[in-house]
């Protein structure tokens, strides 16, 4: 943020909607980064979510971003009485509760922005921007598979479909309202998914990018040759991350004679986290750090040569982009928006067997390692926070000063 940008005239108030910022995943990182920009463009930034009051220190420790409590204020959307007793608050339901609460507040704002998904709120003369990580109000099997829930048996499918329908009802979801909003997708793949489900190509595709402290030239940067020959994976430990695949891949590589290990960095709770804890028991070559702050996470990640991300149909992949910016050579499933981050097809796989074969070849080709590392750093330049911020602020300025109907067409070339 330049001094010129900070001194620009401010619009009065913006309302930002998000399920729960304290979930601390990729969508939450995007939200906090957007808030950090909005606090210099608006005199009042109100955040409506389900996670409680603003905790500046907690957020700063997690992602290294500082929010100004004199301009940014968090409000908690109330849960309906019948849902308050839920021990775990599902993300889509939280989003629906926030949308429901926003209907009583939207007329007091100059701009509404949803950073957690579709926003079926008619804001009258005020513009509404919705960030799409993936279209979340659908319950076809393809949509479920793209959100990490493939091969559901009939009972599981019915329960999840009912959950989406309940969320639609609470949010007041209407396809026509959603398709009319100003829409920013996190990848070209996600933009195509939105167009397919809403029948609209009025979407701007904008990679969210990443912000890291440790880069080449930093005193603590570790050259590739000095790193350990292990794999690292970062991000929340949730079913969609398929960490069981990562453990299986590294285990098979070890059986092929490679002296490699796996370092899991990320928070996790619930049955899936318990399952992973049991799975790694008795495997000294797997370690899990669940409570690292941002600085410690970066310093741990750059000690590794290899990154591994097993999410299938990842909608963009902030974790993937971060690992690549840390100088890791990253391997991902050959699907979704992460194909736009990891350009080298030799680092993308279809199955666990395919992953083992491709990684095995690369591990054996030591003369190629320096080239792969250099290419990773080069490809990562398109996924910086600076690139995202420049394009987003240009789009925001035009939204606040021009008719919304022509915006997406104008900014398809950003």
pLDDT band at 404 (very low <50, low <70, confident <90, very high): very low
Can you give the pLDDT at residue 414? Answer: 42
Can you give the pLDDT at residue 149? Answer: 81
Cβ 332 vs Cβ 359: under 8 Å: no
Do residue 95 and residue 188 come from a single domain? Answer: yes
> Which domain, by its residues, includes 345?
224-383
Structure tokens at 152: 């559901």
On the question of pLDDT at 413 being above 70, the answer is: no
> What percent of the chain lies above the pLDDT cut of 90?
68
Do residue 279 and residue 153 come from a single domain? Answer: no
Do residue 44 and residue 145 come from a single domain? Answer: yes
Do residue 337 and residue 248 come from a single domain? Answer: yes
Do residue 36 and residue 181 come from a single domain? Answer: yes
On the question of pLDDT at 19 being above 90, the answer is: yes
Of the two residues 8 and 71, the one the predictor is more confident about is 71
On the question of pLDDT at 92 being above 50, the answer is: yes
On the question of pLDDT at 135 being above 90, the answer is: yes
| Mean pLDDT, rounded, for 73-82 | 85
On the question of pLDDT at 171 being above 60, the answer is: yes
Do residue 189 and residue 293 come from a single domain? Answer: no
Mean pLDDT of the chain: 89
Structural domains counted in the chain: 2
On the question of pLDDT at 83 being above 80, the answer is: no
Do residue 36 and residue 145 come from a single domain? Answer: yes
Helix (H, G, I), strand (E, B), or coil: what is residue 184?
strand
Do residue 165 and residue 230 come from a single domain? Answer: no
In sign, the C-alpha dihedral spanning 49, 52, 57, 58 is negative
- Judge whether 217 lies within some domain: no
Do residue 82 and residue 166 come from a single domain? Answer: yes
Residue in the structure block whose two tokens are 């309906």 = 80
- Judge whether 69 lies within some domain: yes
Domain CATH code at residue 318: 3.40.50.2000
pLDDT band at 284 (very low <50, low <70, confident <90, very high): very high
Do residue 50 and residue 195 come from a single domain? Answer: yes
Do residue 165 and residue 249 come from a single domain? Answer: no
On the question of pLDDT at 85 being above 70, the answer is: no
Can you give the pLDDT at residue 275? Answer: 95
Can you give the pLDDT at residue 405? Answer: 44
- Judge whether 218 lies within some domain: no
Do residue 320 and residue 391 come from a single domain? Answer: no
The b-or-e profile of 161-186 (16+ CB within 10 A means b, else e) is: beebeebbebbebeeeebbbbbbbbb
Ranges 74-83, 308-317, 326-335, 338-347: which has the least confidence = 74-83
Residue in the structure block whose two tokens are 């989406």 = 164
- Judge whether 215 lies within some domain: no
305 — phi, psi (to 5°)?
Answer: -80, -35
């Amino acid at each position: 943020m330049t001094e010129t940008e900070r001194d620009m005239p401010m619009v009065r108030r913006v309302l930002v909607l998000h399920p729960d910022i304290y979930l601390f995943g990729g969508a939450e990182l995007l939200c906090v980064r957007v808030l950090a920009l909005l606090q210099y463009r608006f005199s009042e930034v109100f955040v409506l979510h389900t996670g409680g009051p603003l905790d500046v220190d907690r957020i700063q420790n997690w992602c290294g971003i500082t929010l100004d409590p004199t301009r940014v204020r968090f409000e908690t959307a109330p849960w309906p009485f019948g849902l308050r007793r839920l021990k775990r608050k599902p993300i889509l339901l939280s989003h629906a509760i926030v949308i429901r609460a926003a209907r009583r507040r939207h007329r007091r704002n100059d701009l509404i922005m949803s950073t957690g998904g579709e926003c079926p709120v008619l804001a009258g003369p005020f513009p509404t921007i919705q960030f799409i990580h993936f279209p979340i109000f659908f319950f076809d099997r393809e949509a479920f598979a793209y959100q990490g829930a493939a091969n559901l048996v009939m009972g599981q499918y019915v329960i999840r479909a009912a959950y989406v329908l309940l969320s639609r009802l609470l949010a007041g979801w209407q396809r026509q309202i959603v398709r009319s909003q100003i829409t920013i997708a996190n990848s070209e793949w996600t933009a195509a998914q939105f167009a397919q489900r809403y029948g609209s190509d009025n979407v701007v595709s904008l990679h969210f990018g990443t912000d890291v402290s440790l880069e080449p030239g930093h005193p603590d940067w570790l050259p590739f040759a000095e790193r350990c020959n292990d794999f690292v994976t970062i991000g929340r430990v949730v079913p969609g991350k398929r960490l069981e695949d990562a453990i299986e891949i590294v285990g098979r590589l070890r059986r092929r004679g490679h002296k490699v290990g796996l370092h899991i960095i990320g928070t996790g709770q619930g049955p899936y986290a318990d399952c992973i804890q049991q799975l790694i028991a008795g495997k000294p070559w797997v370690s899990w750090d669940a409570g690292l702050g941002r600085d410690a996470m970066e310093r741990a990640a750059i000690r590794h040569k290899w990154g591994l991300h097993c999410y299938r149909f990842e909608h963009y992949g902030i974790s993937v982009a971060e690992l690549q910016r840390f100088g890791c050579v990253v391997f991902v499933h050959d699907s979704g928006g992460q194909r736009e981050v990891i350009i080298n097809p030799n680092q993308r796989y279809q199955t666990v067997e395919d992953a083992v074969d491709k990684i095995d070849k690369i591990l054996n080709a030591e003369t190629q390692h320096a080239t792969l590392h250099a290419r990773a750093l080069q490809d990562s330049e398109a996924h910086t926070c600076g690139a995202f911020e420049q394009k987003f602020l240009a789009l925001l300025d035009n939204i606040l000063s021009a008719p919304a109907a022509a915006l997406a067409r104008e900014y398809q070339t950003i």
